[in-house]
Amino acid sequence: MSAAGEEGDDKDSSALDRIANLLAIIATRDMDKDDAALKLDAIGFSPTEVALLLDVGTNYVQVARFRKRNASRKNSKKRG
């Protein structure tokens, strides 16, 4: 493939990334940041991407995941 063709692919993927980011922002607009972080994580955004979209640190996303995991473990212990 020529260099010009590769540059076109970069522009296409960049445009698709921007569209995906915009849709993610719209989809999580009225959500609590923890819920939004978990939702974006669940649909495949990396913690770094989620942090950029929500204007939080990457650690915030990882802590939200940790809290969710612990909450589900506590609920399963209460049932059993």
- What is the pLDDT, as a whole number, of residue 1? 46
Within a 13 Å sphere around the CA of 17, how many CA atoms are in the beta-carbon half?
Answer: 12
- What is the pLDDT, as a whole number, of residue 12? 83
**By 3-state DSSP, what share of the chain in percent is helix, strand and coil, each rounded to 5?**
80, 0, 20
- What is the pLDDT, as a whole number, of residue 7? 63
Over residues 20-68, the pLDDT tens digits come to 999 999 999 999 999 999 999 999 999 999 999 999 999 999 999 999 9
More confident residue, 76 or 36: 36
